[in-house]
Structures are given as C-alpha cells and as structure tokens.
Structure 1
Amino acid sequence: MPPRKGKPRKSLLLKGNGAFLDLPLDVLLEILKILHPLDLLHLSRTNKALRAFLLDRISAESIWRASFELLEDLPPKCPSYTDEVQWTRLLFEEVCHVCCTPLEHDYSFDPIWWEFGARYCDECCPGQVVERLPKELTGTSSKKLTSPGAARWADVFPRVHGHYLAKDIDLFMQKYSASSSKGDLIQERRNRTKVLTDYARICRNWMYHILNAERHKPKQLIETRWAAIQAKLHEAGWPASLTENLHSYQHDLVNNPRPLTDAEWNRIGPKVTNDFEQDIRGTVVSKRFHTLIRAFPTSTLAKLTQHFAFAPRIVDIALLPDVRAVLEGDLKSDMTVNDLKTALEPKLPDLLAAWSSALETQLRDYTRAALELPTDSTVDPLEYALAYFVCEKRCCKGHFKRTGDAQPCRTRWWERGSSETSDYEQEATRIFNCKPCTVNAMFRIEPGLTVLPDVIKLYGKDPKTATCAEMDAAPEKLWCMRCVLKNQPQGWRDAVPHSMMFHEKFSALKPRWEVEIETDDLDPGDD
C-alpha cells in the first residue's frame, strides 16, 4: 500500500532540537501533561518548535487540560470565549498584560479584572479603563446611568469596580456606527456581557478561597515551625506544660514561615533556648511563689518567728537571696511543696533570724538619723519617746516594744513596682499582694514631729532626751481641751493617734493639750 500523502504531523517538527525534544513522542507527551500550566507557558517560549506545538489548539489541547486537572486547587475550567494558553496567562502569570511588568505578590486583594480578562499595573490601568460610556451612546456625560438613553446601556458592557474596558467600547463603537441592525448588535453584546459576568462571579469565588488560604498559610507555616521547635525543647528537657501554650511567644526566629531544618536549629538553637528560658522564667517563678505559700503557711511562719523582734512576711522570705536562688533554679523541673521544704527548712530559721536582726539594725540607724541623736549615745534609739512610727498606709502606729508588737505592717497591699525594682520583686509583690518590708517603705517617724514634742514638754521633760520609760513613769495625765470626755486619750502614747483621728482633717481645730496630776478624786470638769 503506498504511503499516505499529506501534511506531516506537527509533532515531527520537534525532532532534532535537543535531547529533551528527541525523546519518544509518547514519553514527551506524558512529561508535558504533568507539568504545571504556567510551566507549559514558559516552555512554549523557549524555542519556535515548542511554541508552535504547545500553542496549537488542536494538537496540544489534551496536554493543557491534563495539566489543569492535576492542580491542587482546581481553577474554573477554561471558558469558551478564550483558550487554555490565555487562560493560563490570566490565572498564573503575575505580570501586567500591557507592559509585562512583574506585579507585586499581594494576597490582600483580587488582582484580576475577570470581565476584561487581564491584569494591570498602576501605571497602565488608567489608560485601559474608563469610568463612563461615550456621550454618543448615552446622551449624557454623567457617570450614573440614570437618563433614559443611558439606562439602555446599563448591562451592555461589563463593568468592574465602576470602570469599563476602553478598547472594548472602541471596537463596539466602530461596529455600531457601521451596523444597519443596531438593535441586534446591542442584544448580541448584552448576551456576551452576561456570559462574562456570570463566569467572572465563579472565578472571583475561586480566587477568594485562594487568597483566604494564602493569607492563612504563613500562620500555618509558623505553627508548624513552632511545633518543630517545641519538639527540640522537649528533647532538651523542657516539659510540655511549659511549651504547649506558648503559641504567642514573640521571637523573630520562631515566628518565621519557613520549615525548620536541623542545620538551622544548630545555628539558632542556643539563642532561641536562652531567650525562651528568660521569657518562661517569670511563669515558672510565679507558679513556685504559690508553692512557697503552701509549703510555709502563716501558722508555720508564726512558730518560726515568734521569738524575733521583727518577723518577716512571706514576700520578705521570697526575696531572701538563698530562697530566691532555690525558686529560680532549674526551671525545667516541676518543683513541689516537698521539694521546697527539703531545700529550705534546714536553713530557714537562721535566714529569718538574720533578716530580723538586719531590719532592727537598719531601723535603729534610721531612727538615730531622723531624731538627730548623737552616735555615741548609750540609749537605744527605739527607746526614745519621740521614736513613734507610722506605717506608710498609716494603719499601724505606735512605739516599738519587745513584746511582739514590733512587727512590720501586716496589711496585704501592693503598688506597681518602680523601674528600680527587678521583675522578680515586682512579681513577688503582685503574687503575695503586699510590698516587701523595708525601713523606708514601712516605717515613718511621726510626720513632722508636731505632736509629741509639745506633749513631752507639757510633762516637764526634754523631747531630745526623754525615753518611753520616763514618760510611762510620769504621774501626770494628758487631756485634750478641744474634745469631749469620751474622746480623751488614755495617756501620752495616745497623743499622736488622737490627733490623727480627731484633728488632722480639721486644721483649724488642732488639739490643745493640758497635763495635770492624776488623782482618784480629780474631776476634769472642775475648775
């Protein structure tokens, strides 16, 4: 049988153009079908043979369709008014269709003008679209199609974001001017616009899901990276209880939408681990503060401090260097009540005794300086009658004794730490709801020394040298001549609280003191 004559197959033109094109035709077709459509488009631009083969709508149609069907997020099928090549360019090639400038990869908006079948850069867009139809069609220059003539064209041309495609209108105007059947031409154009608009709606829904997935993709990649970092921290001994709820951990090396490799972890691991330890330290220590409260409740501390002149509170114990070293040590371990008792009970009595002795020494020095007492005086500064203390909140006041009354203020209160205090001290203040006891924070000599000096003088003694014992031994009784009998102070020690309670808020009614010998038959009302 003689060979069939005719036009040679286009696939034969691929021979002799390189090792890739010299592959058997069936193998080459299978390779092309598994490529991404955008890869096919780029491949068609490599040489004339591939371009002629891949852009041939008949011979390459099955290749393009097979390529589209393998896509993960299957896009809408190629519509009848275009071909697979142009559809691929519209869907996947992020360039301006006018000047071919690469466009910014932005997933915050839909970049495609679907009804126009194009992408535009900011420079080319104004020259491709118009905001109003020609006056020759509408009879008005207004943007709004409200006139009878303008309403006729409302659905004739596709409209995107309030704009029309300029070249589309120009081509129609040429046909419209030369047509003898204008009504049929308008109806034909209206039908085409409906097809474009309906399919554009489908395409926009697809693009919406693509954009939404891409916007969430960095977050998913970050979570995957953080899970890998968590696994590395677990291998280093950090318990899951410390890492499982730290998705909000802010670190540039962690919040990075890039898979974590072993090589990268070897490079960034030490810094991430160190920063993580500093970040988690506050959480771990705060938990251990609560454990400290359970390990040493108030009843236990009372037994340990009952013989001290000054007893520390739980916040003061937490700030002791030796206790702090235990609470901040080995952050990877889960410290229990028994662990704290084992670590602190043997040395806690000595630590509390040293704290009480140091506070008493500081208070004596503070009192000596506040009262301007001589440094060579043999009298205990706390025994002077002027050594009357008021706490910062003014809820505790009086002279200090050695009968258990010489205690720091027990009121549970706190203020936001200043910039001079450490994070550890601020967190302890917050957890225990009270400030640490210091001389400057908890004790104040009677404000201004405005009450006791006058009272001591009325007793006939020198305020600079009078002691509490001398004042207690005096037989005279103190009276406030501005108050009724039921408000009278019980003795000289009550002069300050009496003044603060009944006279401090009324400056015009300052107390007027008198002292007289206390006898059994003395009536304060007698003249």
Structure 2
Amino acid sequence: MQADESSTQAVAQSRNTGHTTCEAKSIHGSGALVYLGSRRHLRGRRGGLKDMPEMPLDVLFEIIGFLHSRDLLSLARATREFRALLMSRQSAPFWREARRLIEDLPDPPSYLSEPAYANLLFSVHCHNCCKPNVQAVYWTFSVRYCDPCQKAMFADETEVSAFLMEAFQYASDLYVNSRYDTGRSFGRQYHKPEIGAVRRQWAALRDDAERARFKADRAAFVAESQKYCKLLSLWQVSCKGKRSKEVCELKRERFEAVKCRLHQEGFGDVLSCMKYMELTGLKRMSSVNRASKLTDKGWKSIRTSVVQYMTPIHDRYLKARTELTYRLRLGRLRDLLDDYHHSNTPRTPSSDCEPGFCELATLPAIQTLLQDMSSDVVQELQILPVDFPSLMISWTEHHRNVFELALRGLGESSASLELDTLLDLALVSFVCKRCHRRQLRWPHLLSHRCFRDRSEVHPKSVYEVLASHQMQSDHDAPYRGEELAVFDDHVAVTHSIISLCGLAPDTATYKDVEDARATLVCWLCMSESPGQCQVFDWQTAIRHSIISHSTEGADPASFWERLLPVQTVQAHALERTLVQQNNTLSQNPINVFGCTRCPSHGSVVVLMFHFLCVHGLVSPELGEDMYLHEDSKPCGAPSVWIDLSARRLCTEVQAV
C-alpha cells in the first residue's frame, strides 16, 4: 500500500515538475531508478477547468458523483486543492461510488485504499519511473511496471533464498508472494519492495509469539493477494473482451460508413459484387480499420486513399460486367443465327458464301447494338428478330466493293476493263496466297476455305474474343479474303484464250464465256503426241498455259486453236461422261463436302461422323444430305482426248 501511494505521489510530482531533460532519482531503498522525462503533449484548451475549485461544494460533489475512477484520479492530480479534497478520508464515498459504476469490478482488497486501487487499475504509468502507457500489471504485487523497471524491481531466488530459509524454512510460499520468471531461467522471482519490508519487519520482531502472529498476518496477506490476483485477472480479461467487442463494433460501423460514402461516390454496384479478399483488403486499410466514427472531415482525409484502392477493382468489375453482358448478348445472337440456319435448309454451295457468326457479330449495326450498355439488348433481340437476309446482302455488297476497289487500284492492269461489272468479267480472277489456287472468281472468293480458318483467328478486343468463343465451325471464323487473295496477273494468257472463244476480252463476262462452250487444243502438246490430242475448255486452257508452257514473250494464240463444231460436240459428249462418273460420293480425303442442315464442312469421313453424332443420320446421301464444296469442284470442264489426225492430214493436203 505504501508503494502504491508513493507511486501515486510520484506521478503527481512528475506532472507538476517543469523538467525538460531526463533525470534519474532513487525512490526505493532497493536502488531502483525513477526516470523523469519531458512533459507529454496535452490535447484540449489549457485552463478550461481553472474555475472548477471555485464552484459551490454541492455542485462540485454532484459532478464528482458522476465521474469515473479514472476521472477522479485525473482530478486529484490536477491541483493541490483537489488532491487535498479527494485524498482525504471523507472523500472515500466518492471513490467507492465511482468504482461501483464499473461493471463486474471486485471490491478492493484490504491492503489497498480506494485511491490506490483506482491508481492500480486505471493509471497507466509505471509505478517506478512513471513512464506512460504501461499495460503490464502484476496483480499479485499490486504494481504496474514497464519492461526495464520490472527487471530492476524483481530479485532472483538466489538473492533472497538465505533470508527466506532463515525466516520461513521451506514454507516461504505461504508468507511471501512470488512469480515464475517467463524469461530464460524459469525460476522464482520476488518483489524487492516486499522482500525489503518483510526483512525490516522480521528484524524488528522480539519473540516467537510475535513471529507467529507475523506469519499468520503474512499468510492471510498472501492468500488475499492470490485471491485478488485471480479475480482481477478475470476482470481484466472480461474488460479486454468487452473492449474488443466495442472496438469491433466501432470498426464495423466505420466500415459501413465508408461503404455508404463509396455508394455516394458511384461504387455501389462494385461493393455488392466485391470478392471476400477485396472486401477484406478494404476493411484492413489503415484509414478504414479504426475504432472511431467516420465524420465528414475524416472522410475528406481518407477519401483519396480509399478511392485509389477502389478504382482498379471498379475497372475490373466494369470489365467483368461488360464481358458478361457481351457473352449473354452474343449467345442470344448465336441462338438466333442457328434458328435462321435451321429454317433455311437445305444448304447449298451458295450458302457457303454467306457471312459466318464472327462476320455478322462484327458488322457495325450488330456490334453497335450489342455494345450498347444503356438498354436491355437481350430483351430487344427476343422481341425484334434480326433481319439476317438484309445483313448478309449488305455484307456481300461490302466485300464486293472491297475487291472492286482493290482491282481499280492496280492501275494499267484494269484500265481497259468494264468497271460496272468488274468482278463478273471472265478476265478477272484471283489467286490464294495460302494454297496457291488460281482462278478464284466472284462469288467463290467468299466461300474459299483458306479465307475462313478458326486456327488463324487473332482477336484484338474483348468483344472479338467473346465472339470467337461462339464459333462452331470454320465457316464462323472472320473472313480474310482481302488479306489472302491477290489478283491473277496472267492477263495476257486469259486475254488470248477469251479472244479464241470469239468474245471481246475486256467486256466478256464469265457467263458469256461459259455459254460459248468453246473447246481448244494446244498444238505444242499435240506435236508431242501425234494423232491423240488433249482438248480443253477455256478455263483448263488458261491453267494449262500457265503451268505447262512459258508465257513470257510468246503469244498464246499462236499455239492454241479452237476446234470445229463437230469436234466440239464430240468433246462435250466425252466431258459429260466424265462428269457423271465424278458425281459419285468420293472417299478422297482431299474432297470437301458440306452439310445441308448446318454450316459444317469436312471430308466424307468427317461428315459421316458429323451426321451420326449431330443429326442421327447413318447413311447420308450426296445431293440430299451432302453437297460438294466449291473448293473441291474442278475448275472448268474435265479435259478429254480425241483423235485429230484426219483433220490434220486434210489441213496439210490443202496447204500443198
């Protein structure tokens, strides 16, 4: 008790001193030092309660009756007058009433006065050096020490064992408080002030009767100390639990207030969709995780950091929401396109010239509609069906214009061509840069399989990526004809062959030359095989000239000749026979077939498996269930061999 009162006085003295530099004074006989440091910064207006001592006593006592024990301590240390008033025995009821306001707090032990009890519980200064904010309380000894002082204020068992054995033999635990050291030694330690007091009292005893009474008093004191150690430890744990709950509740309220502020800042949708770890990160921010209410001023000070944390999350949320919206809308467009395909069966080779899903989804009209975030496009698509025929026509016209513009940019090569029907001219054909196939003409340019390949899709935007996820076949891949098709520059060969057919090369269309049904013979090849000669139509003649004969510096008209009508009829008859033979379902893996029920292509083996798995058809028929893709059709009529020796002999006789 004396130590507690002296520590209380030391705290008061340290607050009233004007020292600005650290000083050390010994206040215990044990030699422990008290460190008096500089005064800490005090918040609030100084002198605000200077007139309080002048208040009428009844008013003052009424105010004191509502104070907490901690406030009474502060008031007692404020002035000498208040100290004299509150430390007198007549003020004990004030301390008692203040203590009873504290929930579950045990009554003070007999060896502590009310002020000393309040000082032990609520004054966070070290009882030795008056260092502030000390939380370590040793309930058994009724003291509060900082780390340096607790090392100085406790003695090891080796230092006091001789005295304890002399006074109490082997029963010292019954008469002297001790604690186990939690450091490296794990031995008992004893409070130096208590051991010093016991030494002095033991030395003053005169006979065995006094020593027996002293031991009885010490045993009662130690028992009471141990009892209150347990009670106050439990009370401290209870207070920490309540404080922890209060802190958690304050932090929760502050977090909810921050969320309300973020709602006002436009982050409401993001907050409702944030992941657990993202919310935890927001909650653990130092500016948010505080046990204080959020005020307008407080929000202004933390707004920048909180918004900075939420911005990338908001961006990710918008991206995810946009992707989800695009995915739903593109899925709805996919369903509508599938319904359109199912309602427009059977498919034909001309169906392969229509745009696939990616091309339709990236049309400006469709893309603008699906990327409109201000309306419920999915519902609109359900109410207003998409006009696929009009979209396909506009897509076809767009690419027709693209190829026509490309041809017009060739300069002299296209200067003499008829521009109104440029792609319909027989003189105009293209070459694929991937497979090097020649004589690609409009509209076969739109269905050539090299120009639609799912393995070569490289989307650039999120919308294009999600659109590519809806592809079901190569037909749905983006069209790359403008990139992979180049103009066939063998114009001279084509020009000569068309002239031999009796048509004007610069104006003759593909249909005009086909309707002419001219058959041609190559005299260069016939000289190598006398009698039998290979007969070509105009397309195979062009290909034969380019592949078999050098066309540089030679006029193709000099070694090509058109057959007579009689021989032409004979050649056409042979061609029809070959065409009928080739119309049977071929097992050649090079040939590509298309499904008449959906936009699927592949070899005959692939199509057979497709029909079995998708359509449940075991034996599909060519023409009814399958069709030959335009890429697998021969370019021109099949070449045939006829005997022209009689005609050649007649020509030589006339020449003689």
Q: Could you state the TM-score of these two structures normalised by the residue count of structure 1? A: 0.55
Letter in 2 for 1:44: A
DSSP 3-state at the match of 2:130: coil
Aligned pair partner of 1:45 in 77, 95, 101: 77
Letter in 2 for 1:100: C
**Counterparts in 2 of 1:183 and 1:68: CA distance versus 1, 3 Å:** closer
Match of 1:505 in 2: none
Match of 1:364 in 2: none
Letter in 1 for 2:241: N
Q: Distance in 2 between matches of 1:61 and 1:186?
A: 30
Aligned pair partner of 1:85 in 115, 129, 134: 115
DSSP 3-state at the match of 2:90: coil
CA contact (8 A) 2:326 2:371 kept: no
Match of 1:302 in 2: 338
Q: Distance in 1 between matches of 2:464 and 2:213?
A: 83
Q: Distance in 2 between matches of 1:314 and 1:286?
A: 18
DSSP 3-state at the match of 2:142: coil
Letter in 1 for 2:100: E
Letter in 2 for 1:195: E
**Counterparts in 2 of 1:403 and 1:421: CA distance versus 1, 3 Å:** closer
Match of 1:102 in 2: 132
Letter in 2 for 1:60: S
Letter in 2 for 1:261: T
Q: Are 2:432 and 1:380 equivalent residues in the alignment?
A: yes
Aligned pair partner of 2:293 in 240, 259, 268: 259
Aligned pair partner of 1:128 in 147, 153, 174: 153
Q: How many residues align?
A: 382
Q: Distance in 2 between matches of 1:323 and 1:112?
A: 72
CA contact (8 A) 1:139 1:149 kept: yes
**Counterparts in 2 of 1:338 and 1:35: CA distance versus 1, 3 Å:** same
Q: Distance in 2 between matches of 1:313 and 1:155?
A: 96
Aligned pair partner of 2:192 in 166, 169, 186: 166
Q: Distance in 2 between matches of 1:62 and 1:52?
A: 15
* CA deviation vs aligned residue, 1:83-137 (integer Å, no higher than 9, x gap): 1211222212211111111126xxxxx6211112122112211101234262215
CA contact (8 A) 1:312 1:408 kept: no
Match of 1:7 in 2: none
Q: Distance in 1 between matches of 2:466 and 2:336?
A: 20
**Counterparts in 2 of 1:92 and 1:152: CA distance versus 1, 3 Å:** closer
Letter in 2 for 1:196: S
Offset at residue 21 of structure 1 (A): 2.2
Match of 1:205 in 2: 234
DSSP 3-state at the match of 2:54: coil
Match of 1:35 in 2: 67
Q: Distance in 2 between matches of 1:132 and 1:352?
A: 102
Match of 1:116 in 2: 141
Match of 1:63 in 2: 94
CA contact (8 A) 2:77 2:83 kept: yes
**Identity of matched residues, %:** 19
* CA deviation vs aligned residue, 1:412-446 (integer Å, no higher than 9, x gap): xxxxxxxx999x689969x9999x98999xxxxxx
DSSP 3-state at the match of 1:379: strand
Aligned pair partner of 1:288 in 318, 325, 329: 325
Structure label with greater radius of gyration: 2
Aligned pair partner of 1:338 in 366, 379, 391: 379
* CA deviation vs aligned residue, 1:123-171 (integer Å, no higher than 9, x gap): 211101234262215669xxxxxxx965653774242655431221232
CA contact (8 A) 1:158 1:193 kept: no
**Counterparts in 2 of 1:288 and 1:93: CA distance versus 1, 3 Å:** farther
Offset at residue 197 of structure 1 (A): 1.4
For structure 2, which runs of at least 5 residues remain unmatched after alignment?
Answer: 1-48, 183-188, 342-350, 403-428, 438-444, 481-542, 549-577, 579-586, 593-601, 603-656
Letter in 2 for 1:46: A
Q: Distance in 2 between matches of 1:49 and 1:206?
A: 33
CA contact (8 A) 1:316 1:437 kept: no
Q: Distance in 2 between matches of 1:228 and 1:277?
A: 19
Q: Distance in 1 between matches of 2:86 and 2:479?
A: 89
Aligned pair partner of 1:21 in 53, 67, 75: 53
CA contact (8 A) 2:69 2:98 kept: yes
Equivalent residues in 2 for 1:388-399, closer than 5 Å: none
Match of 2:634 in 1: none
Q: Distance in 1 between matches of 2:60 and 2:266?
A: 54
* CA deviation vs aligned residue, 1:384-433 (integer Å, no higher than 9, x gap): 37xxxxxxxxxxxxxx99388976559xxxxxxxxx999x689969x999
**C-alpha RMSD of matched pairs (Å):** 5.7
Letter in 1 for 2:219: R
CA contact (8 A) 1:286 1:427 kept: no
CA contact (8 A) 1:311 1:408 kept: no
Letter in 1 for 2:307: V
**Counterparts in 2 of 1:51 and 1:151: CA distance versus 1, 3 Å:** closer
Offset at residue 254 of structure 1 (A): 4.2
Query: For structure 1, which segment, 270-279 or 214-223, has the greater mean C-alpha deviation from structure 2 after superposition?
Result: 270-279
Q: Are 2:195 and 1:175 equivalent residues in the alignment?
A: no
* CA deviation vs aligned residue, 1:266-299 (integer Å, no higher than 9, x gap): 67658739726336435534653564366x1643
Offset at residue 195 of structure 1 (A): 1.1
Q: Distance in 2 between matches of 1:225 and 1:191?
A: 50
DSSP 3-state at the match of 1:130: strand
CA contact (8 A) 1:34 1:67 kept: yes
Q: Distance in 2 between matches of 1:166 and 1:350?
A: 98
Higher relative contact order by CA 8 Å / sep ≥ 6: 1 or 2? Answer: 2
Offset at residue 79 of structure 1 (A): 2.4
**Counterparts in 2 of 1:282 and 1:204: CA distance versus 1, 3 Å:** farther
Q: Distance in 1 between matches of 2:464 and 2:199?
A: 78
Letter in 1 for 2:226: T
**Counterparts in 2 of 1:201 and 1:339: CA distance versus 1, 3 Å:** farther
Offset at residue 29 of structure 1 (A): 0.4
CA contact (8 A) 2:140 2:177 kept: no
Equivalent residues in 2 for 1:213-228, closer than 5 Å: 213-228=242-257
Letter in 2 for 1:380: C
